[in-house]
Every structure is written in structure tokens, then in C-alpha cells.
């Protein structure tokens, strides 16, 4: 009897971690690795039509090699879309994170009253779904139905067209900033709260002003949170889809392929070409990965260097 | 072949009739059981509102007799549904019956998603105008769908405001342009209408009226004629009006557009027979102030219109009960009671010519109570619908239109180059897919 347990025990110990890993691994493979693998496989194939393409057997799926990828990379529309999103990101990310940091510092300062209410008020837009937010702002941007334009008109002030040209970027960015600032503020604020009080005490004893405390102590100490929020913001920016898609019917300025993700959607569900869409999706995913992790690594290296100093 | 199939169905239906009636009486239906014998249950993807009520008529009447139960699955309309059908078809799981816009039929047929039901519904041909029926055959001997509703285009205008500004209803497009200019002079803050780039169907219909044929075949090759003379004429005409500022350039179906119609800032709309429904929700305060007239013509001697919208009922190749499905499709779109219910519940304008003047269509739409002969006029206009020519990548051409003409309308620039872009992108897509394209 002891023999059997002795023989069994090493096996049990060895197998246990794998058994615990099993559910997660299965779920990961089934709902993450498999779909991604399938998308990648689709991206290497294409549909070929023979003759007029009418009747059965006129279409068949064939191996395309890298054709979809070269098509996507040489497609000026995809590149233009990437540039548009870059322009949009250059407005959204600094403004949103700047405001989030500012609000977090203000909430953290001792002079602010009604902190919970204010915090909730700034956070609230984040709870509103992106599509609803875009619709809401869309109405406010349309001169004929917007109360702002009504006021501008009454005051005899110029009424800029926010859904056209350069202002369109501001209009879109505004929606993202309005919706995202609260979330980032909470992240930064939470990390401010975890700074030990002794640090502030020491600073005050040394005669530091509140502004100096904010600049020299608080901001450097929440730097990891700033890196994290920056990281999230880059990803969110590269994946912008619902805001321009919702504003599209309201104006001639947003095309069906305004952002790279909109192009993927258009190719898959407008043109019905899932193979081209899969290739573009793979490229976007790769670009997102490189950009965001590249940034993370650069940030980590800097903080390590600083720690070493 | 169809005959034997049908006979087999009838015999099997009779064979199990006794056992099955008790089942049907209990109100239970065979969800996905054996489809070879016994009661048949079909699934139908449609976006028509109130279709479940129309299908109830079938399930309680002819369907009950024939042991064919149809279940409606409500869907999103238009292109979204085409994609969904194609995706389902790839998995071999498309529903038995689908609603499809006419311009989507070649795409669906080209993907082998729609079955040839000429044997089952061929007799219905006489119930429809030739130009409408031809869209479901794609010029072949096959029949891929039964026409359901049509959207003959018409000219809608504010009768009261036309009187106020001394405008006449334009008979030709030349007069239409004059009317727009005259209004601009009389009331600079008002527009006759807008050129909207967000619904390609409108432009396609206008081109169709001018005699354009966007897709034709030459042997085993497709020929794309989007940049043909007729379409160019239409594009130049509207581009000219936008450029000189005679009409507005903002898209339709926006809150701003609704307001412009509701407050009389836009006083006319080139639309189709379904416009009363749209106006009811977009411009509720203008009830009884509109009137409908035939579309302006390109020359005095012509009398043609295009179509904007309209759809059909098709049977998929995945259906295990194609005969039963075809039978339902024929009933739905030719039976007087069914069409009457479709008109009442779904607000559609029937493709079946006999239904266009009966039942629901003896009185004008509520919004147009001031025009008692609305549907008499509409039926006359419907007869003048020009033939249409759809191809296997209408969706691509439509998207290209929205983007190219959207930009052109915004910058009030040349529409001709936008049309060139549309032609180029459509041809490029066909070639990319492997179609042979004639030059």
C-alpha cells in the first residue's frame, strides 16, 4: 500500500500544476489562439472567380501567398487612414492625459472640497458607451440642430463647420477626450493616493510649496501610472472605429475608410472580401503590438536607468 | 426534375397527413427534424416590419393545409444582410428564405447562395412588370427570386411653398435646374433640394432613368458602364447645380436634413414611392403640404423613371425544402391577402401589378391625404420604370460612390472625376476577384 502512494505521489505533484493550467490553456487556445490562427490562415487565401461568376462552382478559395499583404501595404487608402489616425492621436493622447493628470492632482490637493462628487462627475462620461457619446456630440456639432450654434447665431459670432477639414479632427478628438479623461484620471488618482504621507511631510518640513510637491514628488512617483495610461491610450487610438463610424452619416467628410479599422470593416462586410480584411487586421495588430510594446520597453529602460543612478 | 420533387413532397405530405394534423393542431412545429417527410418548417430572414403577422396568415391558412410552417427571423436591412447570408452560406447554414434587394441578387447568385426556382415560380411571371421580373432572372433562363416590392422614383415637392414662390413643377431636368435657381433668387436661405452622397441607390436610380446600364455581359466577360454617357450626363447635371450653389450639398437622413424638410428650408425631394413613410417621421409638421409628381425627364418626349429600393424573396441553395420555400415565396408576393397585409403591416409598395391598385392602395397615404389619386399616379409611373442592370459587385461600386461623391459634393468640385473613380474602383475589384472584364 505504501508502495502505491509512493509511486503515485511524484506523479500527482508533477501533474497538479498542469491540471490547474488546463482550463486557462483550453480557453486560451479555443477563444484566442484558434481564432487568430484562423484569421492568419484566411489572410493567405483568396477567392477566385471563373467566367461570369454566376451559378454553382464559379467561385473557389485558393492559396494567395503574401498577395493580400502586399496589396494592403501598397494600398494608399490604408496608409492615409493610418496618417489620419496618427493626426488624431497627436491631439487625443496629450490632451486627454494632460487633463487626466491635472484633474488627478487637483483632486489630490488638500484644498479641494466635494472630492467624491467631483471625481464621479469627471468619471461619468466614461460610463457612456462610445457610440452614444459620438451620437450626442454629433448632434451638438450639426449647425442646424445644435444649441451652441443657436447661441453663436444670436450673438452674431462666426459659426465654424466642425465636421469638415481640420476641425473634424478636433471634433473627433473632443469625443475621445470627453469620454476617456475620467478613466485615466482615476488610474492616476489611485496611484497618487498610495503615496505614503511621510513623503509629503518630509517635503513640507523642507519648505516645499504645493506646486513643488506636485511637480517634484507627485508626478515622478505616479510615472508608472502615466506610462500605463499612455500605453492604453495608444492602443485605443490605433483602434478608433465607433466615433468616426457614428459621425460618418452626418457629414461628407468622413469616408467609409477613414481609419484603418474602418477599412478592415468595409472590406470584410462591405466588399465581402474577408481575406483582404484578415491581412489588414493582422498588419494593424502587429503595428499596434510593435508601437505599444516598443513604448513600454523604452519607458522601462528609462526608469531602470533612473533607478540605477 | 422540379415536378418530380414537388410530387414527392405532395405524396409524403399526404402520407403523414393524419399523424401530422394532430401535431399541428397542438400548435407544435417540427423545428429541425426530418425534412424528407411530414411537416416542413422553414426559416425566413427579412427586415420588413410586421412580416411575422403576414407569415401568421400563411401559417394559419395555406401553410397549415400544406404542412409548411414558416418562422420569421428579423434582420438588419440591405448590405449587412447580404454579408450575413453569405457567411451563413459558407457554413452551409443559410436560412431557407431570404429577403434581398434587387441589386444584391447577382452577388448572392455569384456566391451560389440562391437556388434556381424557375420550376416552382415560373408561372408568377405574368403578375409582374417585365423590367421587374428581369431583375430576378439576371438575363438567364433561371429565376432566383420572386419580386416583393419596388421603388419607382418620383418628384416630391411642397405644394404650398411652390405656390408661394411662384414655382412650376418641373417636367424636365432643365426646368428642375431653373426652378432651383429661381428659388435661390427668391429666397437665398432656402434650397430646392440637396445632392446627397450617402445613399448610392438614389444616384443609381437617376442614372437608370437616363438610360445607363452599369453592368452588362459580353460572352463570358463583364462590362462595367458606370462612366458611360448617360451617367456622366446625370453626374454633370447634379455636380453643376452643387457647384453653382443652386442646391445644398449636405447628406440626407441626418437630424439637420429632417429639420430642413420639416421647417421648409428644403422644399422638394427626388425620391421614390416610399417617401411618404420617410416624410412622416422626418417632417411631421408638413403633413398634407406635399404633392407627388413624375420625375423630371431628360427630354420632353421621354417618359421614364428609375427605381430606388425594392426587394425580392429568394430561396437559398442550403434549403432542404426548396419546393416548399418557393411555394411560400410565390404566395407571399402574389396572393392578394398576403400583399394587402404586407402593405398594411410592412408599408411596402408591391411589385405585383394587380396589387398596386387594390386593397391598401385604393386610398392615398395618410400624409398625402391632399392627393387622392396618389396611388393611381404611382401605378402609372411604376409602369415607366427603365430596365436596370446589376452586376456581381454592386456593393463595391456603391461604397466607391459614397466616398468619391461625398468628397466631390463637400468641395463642390468636379463630379466627372468622382464618376471616373467609381468606374475605376469597380473594374479593379472585378479584376481582383478574377472576373474577366471587357474593355
Q: The complex's ipTM? A: 0.79
B254 touches chain A (CB under 8 A): yes
**Residue B228 and residue B169 share a domain:** yes
What CATH number corresponds to the domain at position A268? 1.10.3720.10
More confident residue, B247 or A54: B247
Q: Are residues B36 and B52 in the same domain?
A: yes
Mean pLDDT of B214-242: 94
A250–B251 CB contact, under 8 Å: yes
Q: A220: how many CB neighbours lie within 10 A of its CB?
A: 10
Residues of A in contact with B402 (CB under 8 A): 255-256
Q: Looking at the structure, do residues B264 and B340 belong to the same domain, yes or no? A: no
| pLDDT at B13 (0 to 100) | 37
Confidence band for A8, pLDDT divided at 50, 70 and 90? low
Question: Looking at beta carbons, which residues of chain B come within 8 Å of A81?
Answer: none
Same domain flag for B179 and B202 = yes
The stretch B331-360 carries a mean pLDDT of 90
Mean pLDDT of A113-133: 90
* CA nearest to A236, candidates A126, A138, A123: A126
**Is B130 within 8 Å of chain A by CB?**
no
CA torsion B378-B382-B388-B394 (nearest 10°) is 30
Residue A264 binned pLDDT confidence (cut-offs 50, 70, 90): very high
The full DSSP string for B277-301 is: HHHHHH-GGGTT-EEEEEPPBSSTT
What proportions of chain A, in percent to the nearest 5, are helix, strand and coil? 75, 5, 20
Judge whether B300 and B171 are in contact, CB under 8 Å. Answer: yes
Tally of structural domains, chain A: 2
Task: Supply the pLDDT for residue A56.
Answer: 67
> Given this model, what pLDDT does residue B54 score?
95
The yes-or-no verdict on residue A188 having pLDDT over 70 is yes
B352 DSSP assignment: B
Cell of B372: 387622392
Same domain, A44 and A150: no
Task: Please give the torsion angle defined by the CA atoms of residues A108, A112, A118 and A120, in that order, rounded to the nearest 10 degrees.
Answer: 30
The answer to whether residue B10 scores a pLDDT higher than 70 is no
Residues of A in contact with B260 (CB under 8 A): 144
| Cell numbers describing residue B13 | 405530405
pLDDT band for B27, please (50, 70, 90 cuts). Answer: very low
Question: Does a structural domain hold residue B366?
Answer: no
Q: Comparing C-alpha atoms, which of A264, A231, A285, A208 is closest to residue A81?
A: A264
Task: Looking at the structure, tell me whether residues A58 and A173 fall in a common domain.
Answer: no
Residues A33 and A92 in one domain: no
Provide the CA B268 distance to its chain's centre, in angstroms.
22
**Is A144 within 8 Å of chain B by CB?**
yes
Residues B188 and B219 both lie in one domain: yes
Does the residue A194 lie in any domain? Answer: yes
Q: In this structure, is residue A80 part of a structural domain?
A: yes
Domain match, B336 and B392 both = no
Q: What percent of chain B has pLDDT over 90?
A: 74
Residue B118 lies in a domain: yes
Nearest to A256 among B112, B220, B399 (CB): B399
Q: Which residues of A touch B407 (CB under 8 A)?
A: 252, 255
A59 lies in the same domain as A80: no
Q: Identify the band that residue A309 occupies on the pLDDT scale cut at 50, 70 and 90.
A: low
Assess A143–B contact: CB distance below 8 Å, yes or no. Answer: yes
Q: Which residue in A164, A250, A256 is closest to B402 by CB distance?
A: A256
pLDDT higher than 90, residue A36: yes
Q: Does a structural domain hold residue B314?
A: yes
B391 against B35, higher pLDDT? B391
Q: How near does any CA of chain B get to the CA of A93, in Å?
A: 28
B369 domain residue, yes or no: no
Task: Answer yes or no: do A31 and A174 share one domain.
Answer: no
Residues A54 and A86 placed together within one structural domain of the fold: no
Distance CA B364, CA B370 (A): 8
Q: Which residue of A has its CA nearest to B434?
A: A49
Tell me whether residue B438 is in a domain: no
- Which residue do the cell numbers 463595391 mark? B396
- The answer as to whether A83 is a domain residue is yes
Can you list the positions of beta strands (E) in B200-251?
215-218, 221-224
Which residue has 396572393 as its cell numbers?
Answer: B335
CA B240 to chain centre: 28
Same domain? For A148 and A42 the reply is: no
Residue of A nearest to B412 (CA): A252
> Contact at 8 Å (CB) between B81 and B47?
yes
Does residue A293 have a pLDDT over 90? no
Pairwise CA distance, residues A121 & B173, whole Å: 56
Residue A278 scores a pLDDT above 60: yes
> Are B166 and B265 members of one domain?
yes
Residue in A59, A145, A270 nearest the CB of B112: A59
Residue A70 domain-assigned (yes or no)? no
Gap between the Cα atoms of B376 and A70, Å rounded: 57
Q: What is the mean pLDDT of residues A1-22?
A: 67
B109 in A contact zone (CB under 8 Å): yes
The chain-wide mean pLDDT, for chain B, equals 88
Q: Tell me if A270 and B399 make a contact (CB, 8 A cut-off).
A: yes
Q: Does B174 lie in the same domain as B37?
A: no
A135 touches chain B (CB under 8 A): no
Instruction: Indicate the pLDDT class of residue B37, thresholds 50, 70 and 90.
Output: low
What residues in A contact B79, CB-CB < 8 Å?
269-270
pLDDT value, residue B111: 87
Q: Give the pLDDT confidence score for residue A152 in this predicted structure.
A: 87
Q: For residue A49, what are the β-bridge partners? A: A59
Residue A22 included in any domain: yes
| Nearest neighbour of A52 by CB, restricted to B80, B222, B409 | B222
Give the residue numbers spanning the domain of A31.
2-63
* Burial of residue A201, with CB atoms counted within 10 A of its CB: 0-12 exposed, 13-18 middle, 19 or more buried: exposed
B174 inside domain: yes
Mean pLDDT of B403-419: 94
Residues B159 and B295 in one domain: yes
Ramachandran angles phi, psi of B163, nearest 5°: -65, -45
- The phi and psi torsions of B251 (rounded to 5 degrees) equal -65, 160
Pair A190, A290 in one domain = yes
List all residues of chain B from 182 to 221 with a beta carbon under 8 Å from chain A.
197-198, 217, 220-221
Last residue of a domain, one of A63, A84, A111: A63
One domain, residues B184 and B278: yes
Does some domain include residue B368? no
Q: How far is Cα B187 from Cα B168, in angstroms, rounded to an integer? A: 16
Collect all residues with Cβ–Cβ distance below 8 Å to B289 and sequence separation of at least 6: B158, B159, B160, B161, B370
pLDDT exceeds cutoff 80 at B113: yes
A chain contacts of residue B253, beta-carbon cutoff 8 Å: 249
Residue A69 covered by a domain: no
In a domain, B414, yes or no: yes
In total, how many domains does chain B have? 2
Q: How confident is the model at residue A95 (pLDDT cuts 50, 70, 90)?
A: very high
Phi, psi of B148 (to 5 degrees): -110, -65
Residue B320 shares a structural domain with residue B391: no
Q: Residue B16's domain is classified under what CATH number?
A: 3.40.190.10
Residue B317 near residue B93 (C-beta atoms within 8 A): no
What three-state secondary structure class fits B30? coil
Most B CBs within 10 A among A63, A257, A272, hence the mutation to make, goes to A272
Whether the predicted pLDDT of B24 surpasses 80: no
Whether residue A46 is found in the same domain as residue A189: no
DSSP state of B251: P
In this prediction, residue B14 carries a pLDDT of 37
Confidence bin at B377 (pLDDT 50/70/90):
very high
Cβ-based neighbour number of residue A89 at 10 Å? 18
Q: Which domain holds residue B140?
A: 2-151+308-361
Q: Which residues of A touch B433 (CB under 8 A)?
A: 47-49, 53
Selecting from A48, A57, A266 the residue whose C-beta is nearest the C-beta of B399 gives A266
* Residue of B383, B331, B392 whose CA lies nearest to B132: B383
Find the CB nearest B80 among A47, A253, A269: A269
pLDDT of residue B2: 40
Residues A181, A301, single domain; the answer is yes
C-alpha angle B356-B359-B361 in degrees, rounded to nearest 5: 50
Cα radius of gyration rounded to whole Å, chain A: 26
**B381 and B284 belong to one structural domain:** yes
Amino acid at each position: 500500500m505504501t508502495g502505491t502512494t509512493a509511486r503515485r505521489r511524484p506523479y500527482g505533484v508533477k501533474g497538479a500544476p498542469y491540471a490547474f493550467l488546463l482550463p486557462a490553456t483550453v480557453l486560451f487556445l479555443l477563444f484566442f489562439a484558434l481564432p487568430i490562427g484562423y484569421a492568419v490562415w484566411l489572410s493567405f487565401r483568396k477567392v477566385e472567380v471563373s467566367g461570369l461568376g454566376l451559378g454553382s462552382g464559379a467561385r473557389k478559395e485558393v492559396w494567395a501567398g503574401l498577395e493580400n499583404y502586399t496589396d494592403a501595404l501598397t494600398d494608399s487608402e490604408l496608409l492615409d487612414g493610418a496618417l489620419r489616425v496618427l493626426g488624431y492621436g497627436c491631439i487625443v493622447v496629450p490632451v486627454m492625459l494632460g487633463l487626466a493628470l491635472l484633474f488627478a492632482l487637483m483632486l489630490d490637493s488638500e484644498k479641494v472640497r466635494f472630492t467624491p462628487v467631483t471625481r464621479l462627475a469627471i468619471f461619468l462620461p466614461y460610463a457612456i458607451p462610445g457610440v452614444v457619446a459620438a451620437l450626442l456630440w454629433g448632434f451638438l456639432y450639426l449647425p442646424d440642430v445644435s444649441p451652441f450654434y443657436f447661441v453663436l447665431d444670436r450673438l452674431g459670432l462666426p459659426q465654424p463647420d466642425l465636421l469638415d477639414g481640420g476641425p473634424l479632427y478636433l471634433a473627433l478628438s473632443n469625443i475621445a477626450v470627453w469620454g476617456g479623461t475620467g478613466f485615466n484620471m482615476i488610474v492616476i488618482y489611485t496611484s497618487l493616493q498610495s503615496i505614503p504621507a511621510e513623503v509629503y511631510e518630509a517635503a513640507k518640513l523642507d519648505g516645499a510649496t504645493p506646486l513643488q510637491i506636485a511637480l517634484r514628488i507627485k508626478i515622478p512617483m505616479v510615472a508608472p501610472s502615466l506610462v500605463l495610461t499612455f500605453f492604453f491610450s495608444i492602443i485605443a487610438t490605433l483602434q478608433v472605429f465607433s466615433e468616426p463610424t457614428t459621425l460618418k452619416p452626418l457629414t461628407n467628410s468622413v469616408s467609409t475608410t477613414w481609419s484603418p479599422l474602418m477599412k478592415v470593416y468595409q472590406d470584410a462586410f462591405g466588399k465581402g472580401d474577408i481575406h483582404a480584411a484578415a491581412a489588414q487586421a493582422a498588419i494593424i495588430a502587429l503595428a499596434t503590438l510593435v508601437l505599444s510594446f516598443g513604448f513600454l520597453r523604452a519607458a522601462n529602460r528609462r526608469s531602470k536607468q533612473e533607478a540605477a543612478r | 426534375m422540379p415536378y418530380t420533387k414537388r410530387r414527392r413532397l405532395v405524396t409524403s405530405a399526404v402520407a403523414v397527413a393524419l399523424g401530422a394534423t394532430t401535431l399541428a393542431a397542438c400548435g407544435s412545429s417540427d423545428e429541425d427534424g426530418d425534412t424528407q417527410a411530414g411537416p416542413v418548417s422553414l426559416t425566413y430572414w427579412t427586415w420588413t416590419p410586421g412580416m411575422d403577422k403576414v407569415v401568421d396568415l400563411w401559417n394559419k391558412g395555406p401553410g397549415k393545409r400544406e404542412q409548411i410552417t414558416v418562422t420569421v427571423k428579423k434582420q438588419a436591412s440591405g448590405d449587412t444582410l447580404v454579408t450575413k447570408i453569405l457567411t451563413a452560406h459558407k457554413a452551409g447554414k443559410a436560412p431557407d428564405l431570404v429577403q434581398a434587394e434587387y441589386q444584391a441578387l447577382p452577388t448572392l447568385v455569384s456566391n451560389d447562395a440562391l437556388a434556381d426556382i424557375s420550376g416552382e415560380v415560373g408561372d408568377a411571371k405574368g403578375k409582374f412588370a417585365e423590367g421587374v421580373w428581369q431583375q430576378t432572372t439576371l438575363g438567364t433562363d433561371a429565376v432566383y427570386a420572386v419580386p416583393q416590392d419596388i421603388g419607382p422614383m418620383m418628384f416630391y415637392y411642397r405644394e404650398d411653398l411652390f405656390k408661394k414662390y411662384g414655382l412650376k413643377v418641373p417636367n424636365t431636368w432643365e426646368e428642375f435646374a431653373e426652378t432651383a435657381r429661381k428659388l435661390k433668387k427668391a429666397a437665398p436661405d432656402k434650397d430646392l433640394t440637396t445632392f446627397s452622397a450617402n445613399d448610392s441607390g438614389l444616384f443609381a436610380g437617376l442614372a437608370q432613368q437616363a438610360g445607363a446600364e452599369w453592368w452588362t455581359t459580353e460572352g463570358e466577360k463583364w462590362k462595367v458602364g458606370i462612366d458611360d454617357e448617360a451617367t456622366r450626363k446625370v453626374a454633370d447635371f447634379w455636380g453643376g447645380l452643387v457647384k453653382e450653389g443652386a442646391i445644398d450639398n449636405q447628406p440626407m437622413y441626418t437630424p439637420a436634413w429632417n429639420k430642413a424638410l420639416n421647417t421648409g428650408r428644403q422644399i422638394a425631394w427626388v425620391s421614390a414611392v416610399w417617401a411618404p413613410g420617410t416624410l412622416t417621421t422626418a417632417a411631421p409638421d408638413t403633413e398634407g403640404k406635399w404633392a407627388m409628381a413624375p420625375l423630371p425627364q431628360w427630354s420632353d418626349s421621354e417618359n421614364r423613371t428609375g427605381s430606388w429600393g425594392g426587394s425580392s424573396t429568394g430561396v437559398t441553395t442550403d434549403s432542404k425544402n426548396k419546393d416548399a420555400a418557393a411555394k411560400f415565396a410565390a404566395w407571399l408576393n402574389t396572393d392578394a391577402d398576403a400583399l394587402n397585409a404586407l402593405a398594411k403591416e410592412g408599408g411596402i409598395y408591391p411589385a405585383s401589378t394587380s396589387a398596386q391598385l387594390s386593397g391598401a392602395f385604393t386610398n392615398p397615404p395618410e400624409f398625402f391625404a391632399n392627393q387622392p389619386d396618389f396611388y393611381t399616379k404611382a401605378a402609372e409611373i411604376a409602369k415607366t420604370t427603365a430596365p436596370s442592370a446589376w452586376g456581381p459587385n454592386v456593393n463595391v461600386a456603391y461604397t466607391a460612390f459614397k466616398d468619391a461623391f461625398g468628397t466631390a459634393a463637400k468641395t463642390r468640385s468636379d463630379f466627372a472625376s468622382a464618376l471616373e473613380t467609381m468606374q475605376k474602383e469597380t473594374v479593379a475589384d472585378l479584376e481582383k476577384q478574377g472576373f474577366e472584364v471587357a474593355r
